[in-house]
Amino acid sequence: MAKNNAKLWLLDNIELFDELSPDQKIVLQNSIVKYKYNKKDVIFQSGDRMDRVYFVVQGRVKIVKISETQKEGIKKIIRTGDFYGELAAIDPENYTHFSDSAIVMKNETVVLAIPTTVFKQVLESQPAVYQKVINKVLSNYKKLNNRLDSVMLKDSRRRVIDFIKEMAEEVGRPIGYEILIKHKLTHQEIASITGISRQKVTTILNEFKQQGLIHLERNSILVHDKKLFE
């Protein structure tokens, strides 16, 4: 009973399920599996069957594409309350296997896995939840498309600016006229997102700091001047 209560408490902390009744959450809790991971653990790999939707309830997970030379490109970061694998529930005929890998970024990361068949039933029975998921899919597509445009068409400086702007929109917190971004990423991870070298990322961030546009701390950026985004 205590184990089920713990699962129910975790479900209560997922915003997507706010529309569900207590009875619906109790039904859902019977199908979920809770996993605890440490940094660098692999949740799934490219080619694995796409039969679960993963919800991060604590910690962070990166969705990556790994090249033949083992070079890693970060496509998306799944933070607390976010999810991945929903396309298999929306369109199970076309989304059967993962094309990317999921790697844990932080120790003691907690993930809930919900079978896609069960998640599909939730979507079909709750139009409000379905609409939230569709909105999330469209938002993710827009971000990924903007990222692709940035990598293909823009120089290194502009790519770093786009990264800071994206993080400001996702996790930024206003402090007066400034924006505090606790991104918790290494310069190598920023490089994997922007498609430039770690050394170049460090150089550009230091240039912005010297110009008085930002202040740098470990795993965080304080944007002094929003003109940086123009």
Residue 5's pLDDT is 58
Alpha carbons 230 and 228: distance in angstroms, whole number: 6
- Which carries the bigger pLDDT value, residue 68 or residue 134? 134
Tens of pLDDT, residue by residue over 135-175, are 999 999 999 999 989 989 999 999 999 999 999 999 999 99
Tens of pLDDT, residue by residue over 11-61, are 887 889 888 888 888 888 889 999 999 999 999 999 999 999 999 999 999
By the 8 A CB rule, do 143 and 77 touch? no
Strands in 61-66's sheet, in edge-to-edge order, are 42-44, 101-104, 61-66, 72-78
Tens of pLDDT, residue by residue over 92-132, are 999 999 999 999 999 999 999 999 999 999 999 999 999 99
By the 8 A CB rule, do 90 and 137 touch? yes
Given a cut of 70, is residue 79 above it in pLDDT? yes
What number is the average pLDDT over the span 191-207? 96
Residue 192's pLDDT is 94
Token pair belonging to 226: 């929003």
Question: For residue 1, what pLDDT band results from cuts at 50, 70 and 90?
Answer: very low
Residue 57's pLDDT is 92
Residue 191's pLDDT is 95
Given a cut of 60, is residue 81 above it in pLDDT? yes
Given a cut of 60, is residue 4 above it in pLDDT? no
What number is the average pLDDT over the span 63-76? 89
Residue 3's pLDDT is 53
Q: Which of 77, 82, 65 is nearest to 13 (CA)?
A: 82
Residue 2's pLDDT is 45
Tens of pLDDT, residue by residue over 201-230, are 999 999 999 999 999 998 899 999 888 988
pTM of the model: 0.88
Residue 140's pLDDT is 92
Strands in 52-58's sheet, in edge-to-edge order, are 33-37, 109-115, 52-58, 83-84
Question: For residue 8, what pLDDT band results from cuts at 50, 70 and 90?
Answer: low
